Amino acid sequence: MSLLRSWVETANDPMCPFPMNNLPFGVFSTAGIAPRCCTAIGDRVLDLGAMERGGLLKRMGFTEPALNSFMEKGPEAWEAIRATLFGYLGEGSPSAGMIEPYLHPMDSVRLHLPFRVAEYTDFYAGRQHAFNVGTMFRGPENALPPNWLHIPIGYNGRASTIVVSGTDIHRPVGQTKAPDADVPGFGPCKRLDIELEMGAVVGQPSTMGAPVSVAEADAMIFGYVLLNDWSARDIQAWEYQPLGPFQAKAFATSISPWVVTKAALEPFRRSTPPREVPLLPYLEEPGSMLYDIDLSVTIGPDGAKNPTTISRTNYREMYYSAAQQLAHHASSGCAMRVGDLLGSGTISGPEKDSYGSLLELTWGGKEPLTLGDGTTRTFIEDGDRLTLQGEARGDGYRIGFGDCTGRVLPAPDFP
């Protein structure tokens, strides 16, 4: 697919992350406008809530401060709104003069969490990441757990601490135990990390007791966001056995402000990698379920002039797709809800500079990174700003997600 041209001229720039091919959904506000739904076109935000009130769009819940009501309408409604927006925004549209008043400069608005997160599940579905982490702790011969090549492993996280890009993150405090200590201590995390992930946003529910196929799961997904699963590695090392991550992951998860729809990503579908062992039939995919999305991570120390790119990878590196993860999640009869968020798991490529966490990039802190300002890092320090970026590249256009960024503040005083 080539660039779809718009009368919003900035949307036709090949470097623009928000061409008409994209039209992601989000929530915005201004000094005089309460939070409501919008889309991005070029360097502008289009006020869908005001358009709905003005009768230019069918009632879809765009006047609400979250996308959930719109997502509940289902795939036919999603497709219909996209087609309507094409008609309003396309080059030569007779509606240009009518639509212009609903546009706001993007740099003049505030973006909010785009949907109410019902529940959050994080997976461990990147093979290179799982191999790297397993190698550090168990050696390469036992790196992958026995079940890893058969099911997408995951854990239930906290929806309450999912925040939109730009939200500062306090360094967590918790219980840790040094290898040579007899008893644990309590205090600020010393090995704070990020995990470069994609998040799948569930737009349609399933019924408790009713499994869904991989194809049905794919149809349930509304779109995707960038996701940073902040991780306290020292807290995690002490607490995770036998039940897995808990406080080490519960303190914060950041997502990008725009939900990029499956329709916008359709030209970029890619297949999951060849299976090392056959999957059970309920996990077999009927088609390509991954996407070709370039991803990167930068770190900007407090006061540094320019951030340093520390990782570049691609979403197609995943072993399990979001549709497989969702199908497995529902396979027990677990009911999925509109607004559920599924974290892909850390996305690491085959080379060291494509690893998706500092744990891997510094190999457990043994191989420090040198940043552009000459400082080094093994893990994140107070004042550091971590930014995830992603884009799919088409013929003369790009599909962007907006940055997923967060700055680390010192740990709070503990009573």
pLDDT, tens digit (0-9, with 9 covering 90-100), for 349-361: 999 999 999 999 9
| pTM of the predicted protein model | 0.97
pLDDT at 150: 98
Cα torsion angle, 351, 363, 347, 318, sign: positive
Say whether pLDDT at 340 is over 80: yes
Say whether pLDDT at 316 is over 90: yes
pLDDT at 255: 98
Hey, what amino acid is at 144? L
Say whether pLDDT at 401 is over 90: yes
In Å, the largest CA–CA distance within the chain is 75
Residue 364 tokens read as: 């457990």
3-state secondary structure of 137: helix
The whole-chain average pLDDT of the chain stands at 97
- Which value, to the nearest 10 degrees, does the dihedral of the CA atoms of residues 289, 329, 277, 282 take? -80
Say whether pLDDT at 415 is over 90: no
Measuring CA to CA, how many Å separate 170 from each of 22, 65, 136, 230, 378? 33, 26, 28, 11, 18
Residue 147 neighbours by CB distance under 10 Å: 9
Which residue, 34, 29, 118, 17, is CA-closest to 71? 118
Phi-psi sector, 133: left (phi>0), alpha (psi -120 to 50), beta = alpha
What CATH topology corresponds to 120-409? Fumarylacetoacetate hydrolase; domain 2 (3.90.850)
d(C-alpha 43, C-alpha 57), whole Å: 22
Please indicate whether residue 129 is annotated as part of the active site. Answer: yes
Residue 70 neighbours by CB distance under 10 Å: 24
pLDDT at 1: 83
Q: Could you list the beta-strand ranges (E) of 284-397.
A: 290-291, 294-300, 308-314, 341-343, 369-370, 376-377, 385-393
CATH superfamily ID and name for 9-111: Fumarylacetoacetase, N-terminal domain (2.30.30.230)
Which residue, 378, 373, 218, 235, is CA-closest to 306? 373
Hey, what amino acid is at 117? V
pLDDT at 157: 96
Residue 268 tokens read as: 């970029």
pLDDT at 2: 94
Phi-psi sector, 266: left (phi>0), alpha (psi -120 to 50), beta = alpha
d(C-alpha 210, C-alpha 179), whole Å: 46
Catalytic residue among 129, 150, 328, 329: 129
Name the residue with tokens 């966490």: 357
Say whether pLDDT at 21 is over 80: yes
Q: What pLDDT band is residue 414 in, cutting at 50, 70 and 90?
A: confident
232 pairs with which residues across the strands? 192
Residues 6+ apart with CB under 8 A from 146: none
Residue 351 tokens read as: 């080379």
Each domain of the chain, given as residue ranges in start order, spans 9-111, 120-409
Residue 100 tokens read as: 């212009």
Per residue in 143-193, pLDDT (tens digit) is 999 999 999 999 999 999 999 999 999 999 999 999 899 999 999 999 999
Residue 412 tokens read as: 């709070």
DSSP 171-232: PPEEEE--TT-SS-EEEE-SSEE--EEEEEEE-S---TT----HHHHHHHEEEEEEEE--EE
Say whether pLDDT at 218 is over 90: yes
Per residue in 229-280, pLDDT (tens digit) is 999 999 999 999 898 899 999 999 999 999 999 999 999 999 999 999 999 9
Residue 59 tokens read as: 């009632």
d(C-alpha 44, C-alpha 107), whole Å: 8
- Which value, to the nearest 10 degrees, does the dihedral of the CA atoms of residues 201, 66, 112, 394 take? 50
